[in-house]
Amino acid sequence: MSLAITIDNFKSEVLESQIPVLIDFWAPWCGPCKMLGPVIDEIAGEYEGRVKIGKVNIDEHGVLAEQHGIVSIPTLILYNNGELAAQKTGAAPKHDIISLFKNLL
């Protein structure tokens, strides 16, 4: 299950995480985001405890989107040890998403 990432929990859930964190920046009106959502949820279930999967609704948390320079959604950002490790924009197949963090496991 994915975690809602907000400005209030970003530091504790992402920057201070002991495991890699993959964040999905999305919006409810975004068609490609709707297609990607179930894939992200599936990955969250499969890698639970090894990778934290978070979602940022850019309509509700625009500050986080702005801080990350998000100009197109969906955008996936991977953090590892509190540092930005990878970024991918646009809908992608499951294996491409997993390849963002697979080498960190």
* CATH (domain of 63): 3.40.30.10
Whether 78 has a pLDDT exceeding 90, the answer reads yes
Tell me whether residue 94 is in a domain: no
Residue with tokens 């924009």: 89
Tell me whether residue 62 is in a domain: yes
Tell me whether residue 105 is in a domain: no
Model pTM score: 0.95
Q: Is 55 helix (H, G, I), strand (E, B) or coil?
A: strand
Residue 65: closest CA among 94, 101, 103, 23: 23
Tell me whether residue 95 is in a domain: no
- Residue 102: the pLDDT is 95
Q: Which of 14, 33, 36, 43 is catalytic?
A: 33
Which amino acid belongs to residue 18? Q
CB 52 within 8 A of CB 20: yes
Tell me whether residue 100 is in a domain: no
Tell me whether residue 55 is in a domain: yes
CB 10 within 8 A of CB 64: yes
Note if 16 is an active site residue.
no
Tell me whether residue 101 is in a domain: no
- Residue 2: the pLDDT is 85
**Cα distance between residue 87 and residue 89, in whole Å:** 7
Q: Is 2 helix (H, G, I), strand (E, B) or coil?
A: coil
Report the pLDDT averaged over residues 48-58: 97
Total tally of structural domains belonging to the chain? 1
Number of Cα atoms under 13 Å in the Cβ half of residue 77: 22
Note if 30 is an active site residue.
yes
Residue 42 domain boundaries: 3-85
Contacts of 69 (CB under 8 A, 6+ apart): none
Tell me whether residue 97 is in a domain: no
What percent of the chain has a predicted confidence (pLDDT) above 70? 100
Q: Which of 30, 40, 77, 97 is catalytic?
A: 30
